[in-house]
Structure 1
Amino acid sequence: MLTSYDGLCGIGELAERAGVTVKTVRFYSDRGLLPEASRSTGGHRRYGPESLDRLRLIRSLRTLGLSVPEVHRVLDDEDDGNNGDNGNDGDLAGGEGRAGGALEAAVAGRLRELGSELKALRWREAALRLVQECPPGERAGRLRLIGAVPAPPSTAPLVRFWRGWLPPRMPARAVGAFLEVAVPQPPDDPAPAQVLAFARLNALTLAPCPGTARPQPEAHRAAGARGSAVLYAGLAEAYELAGAHLRRGRPPRPGEALDGFVAAYTSAYGVRDTPAFRRRLAGQLAADPRIDRYWELVGEVVTPPGLRPEPTPGSAHDWLLAALVAQTEASPTQAT
């Protein structure tokens, strides 16, 4: 309750009741968050009885980390709800109509920002431990590696790497589906070893290619743009089947996974699956450019230390190729 005869109070009394400084009250008033009811004959600010609750609300919103413009939108939203004629009580926590919408949007946005900030802090903590735990002679090199990775880390260099590797004019949907599998998302709470693996992966994708152009697999040229989409869709299914064998520690073998692997190529090329085709395919794939180091690092990024590495498209491809080579070598005239 305000003590003055007219129900208004000065800036000092308002600040004292709200538990803030006069400078704070003046700051919010100057920015239109806390309107004055009037000015005294001496030019001093006077505030109405509703100003105390409004000032406390402003302080709460600012404590949550909302910016001044966001607080302005929340207050405007509340004012619209209170002044409307739709029966809305203006409850910020869940009133009908517009009231509360600005608060919900601001809180959701702040939560997203905090999630990113926490991820960056966890990444920096793991990076610091990586430097702290490594031998002194390796620190300079590791600092260069992790210094090239922003916090939170970005996968943009990895995406650019694959867009240069994949066939040109490959349908966007097929490219997106492949990138979801081929580009690992950095762990939210990484171990130092995972930070190191991601930093090395980042450096690998940024390194200049030998020669004037990145070598492309023969499979890309043979399939063409339309066939490449068919090829990668079929390979994804074969890699998933091979991954189940890898998780069980099974050696490469003929079966459904290998048949699906070969079928991906026959469908893309428009040819029949014959023993001769399997022999040619085995030779072609064995001669194609390899990026084994990429897939090795992907496994380290996605797998916490001490656990068996999760299968990657690269490890599944190696398993299937080994099965294909073994099959064609065992049956030079007939591949089943």
Structure 2
Amino acid sequence: MSSHDGLWSIGELAEWAGTTVKTVRFYSDRGLLPEAGRSSGGHRRYGTAALDRLRLIRSLRALDLPVSEVHRIVEDEDTSGPVLEAAVADRLSELGTEISALRWREAGLKLLAESAPQERAEVLQLVGGVTSPPNTDSLARFWRAWLPLRMPAGAVSAFLAAAVPQPPAEPAPGQLLAFARLHSFVTRPCPGDTGPCQPAAHQFSPDFRPEVLYDGLAEAYELAAAPLRRGRPPRAGEALDCFVTAYAASYGAPDTPGFRRLLAAQLAADPRIDGYWELVAQVNTPQGARPDPTPGTAHDWLVSALSADSMADAAAS
């Protein structure tokens, strides 16, 4: 019920809306709830339309939309329009990030709870090195230092898409630990290397064409994945021929027994990063599932096949 002038006092509006005078004053002071006038004593007075606006404001705030966005929406006076749509889309994106962060924190707490007391200091150090939710910047930097300097941007992006695992939205504790170990792995000096973390084979020739190499390697890794899934030992065949052809074509060299021996020696001297790929498999594999071959496991399989093939050729010579 309004007063004789058809306006409500701040207390009457608060009572009709089922809220407090403090809340009404807060929104009024911020310009979300305009006053219809003032009483002779200087008290705030509100028209009946203020009740609908106050209810709208409270509904929007209940969805955790910021006061600034609520102000834009109520001023727009069109709850079916683009202003509300944009505000909802932005908030949904923010909530997605917040929920992901909470899931990673939950996985970290579970990991600590499941860890043996003597392991918790190491686990805390590893987990503390990763943001929540995590990003893959450190992994991308590692591979950019590893890849050939003249590699085209498109080829780099394609390789990073295969080599850099995306953090799971709902990680198991083991996946979180694997991702934290990956971050630790790529932020320490390259294993066994005092210079740039880059294979010697990338420096083979001034005419080296890295995009040709990595296009061919992607095909060779795919071919090697089939025998890897079946548990076959490294051996000569289509996958190995594709692997060697990728190197030969990128260097402008013929695929000869001599080339294969030289390539085998160079690849054997490269820094070993098997641990990286083992951790990638753990990050990518849900609990209880069988891991798929990674580019790293395919590469190691092919290098072993090349070494065996070169040794057999040398023995036959």
Fold shared by both chains (TM-score > 0.5) = yes
CA distance in 2, matches of 1:177, 1:334: 40
CA distance in 1, matches of 2:207, 2:94: 40
Of residues 173, 185, 191 in structure 2, which corresponds to 1:192? 173
| Residue 226 (structure 1) shift | 6.9
| Residue 55 (structure 1) shift | 0.7
Name 1:167's counterpart in structure 2: 148
Name 1:121's counterpart in structure 2: 102
After TM superposition, list the pairs within 5 Å mapping 1:169-248 onto structure 2. Answer: 169-209=150-190, 212-222=194-204, 227-248=209-230
| Residue 65 (structure 1) shift | 0.8
**Is the Cα–Cα contact under 8 Å of residues 167 and 225 in structure 1 kept in the other structure?**
no
After TM superposition, list the pairs within 5 Å mapping 1:86-101 onto structure 2. Answer: 90=78, 92-93=79-80, 100-101=81-82
User: Is residue 158 of structure 1 aligned with residue 139 of structure 2?
Assistant: yes
How many residues in Structure 1 have an aligned counterpart in Structure 2? 316
Deviations 1:14-38 (A, max 9, x none): 1111111111111111111111111
**Is the Cα–Cα contact under 8 Å of residues 295 and 312 in structure 1 kept in the other structure?**
yes
Deviations 1:264-297 (A, max 9, x none): 2122111222232222212211122221111111
**Is the Cα–Cα contact under 8 Å of residues 130 and 183 in structure 2 kept in the other structure?**
yes
The Cα RMSD (Å) is 2.1
Name 1:298's counterpart in structure 2: 280
Name 2:293's counterpart in structure 1: 311
Of residues 276, 285, 304 in structure 2, which corresponds to 1:322? 304
Output the amino acid matched with 1:105: A
| Residue 245 (structure 1) shift | 2.6
| Residue 333 (structure 1) shift | 8.4
Name 1:147's counterpart in structure 2: 128
Normalised to the residue count of structure 2, the TM-score between the two structures is 0.92
CA distance in 2, matches of 1:68, 1:226: 58
CA distance in 2, matches of 1:215, 1:120: 32
Output the amino acid matched with 2:113: Q
CA distance in 1, matches of 2:301, 2:103: 35
SS in 1 for 2:267: helix
The structure-2 alpha-carbon separation of the partners of 1:185 and 1:4, relative to structure 1 and needing over 3 Å to count, comes to same
Name 1:83's counterpart in structure 2: none
User: Is residue 63 of structure 1 aligned with residue 62 of structure 2?
Assistant: yes
Q: Structure 1, unaligned stretches of length 5 or more?
A: 79-89, 94-99
Name 2:248's counterpart in structure 1: 266
Normalised to the residue count of structure 1, the TM-score between the two structures is 0.87
Q: Which has the higher contact order (CA 8 A, sep 6+)?
A: 2
The structure-2 alpha-carbon separation of the partners of 1:195 and 1:225, relative to structure 1 and needing over 3 Å to count, comes to farther
SS in 2 for 1:202: helix
Output the amino acid matched with 1:272: P
| Residue 63 (structure 1) shift | 0.7
Q: Structure 2, unaligned stretches of length 5 or more?
A: none
| Residue 182 (structure 1) shift | 1.1
Moved segments of 4+, more than 4 Å: 209-212, 223-226
Q: Percent identity between the aligned chains? A: 65
**Is the Cα–Cα contact under 8 Å of residues 208 and 252 in structure 2 kept in the other structure?**
no
Higher mean displacement: 233-242 or 311-320: 233-242
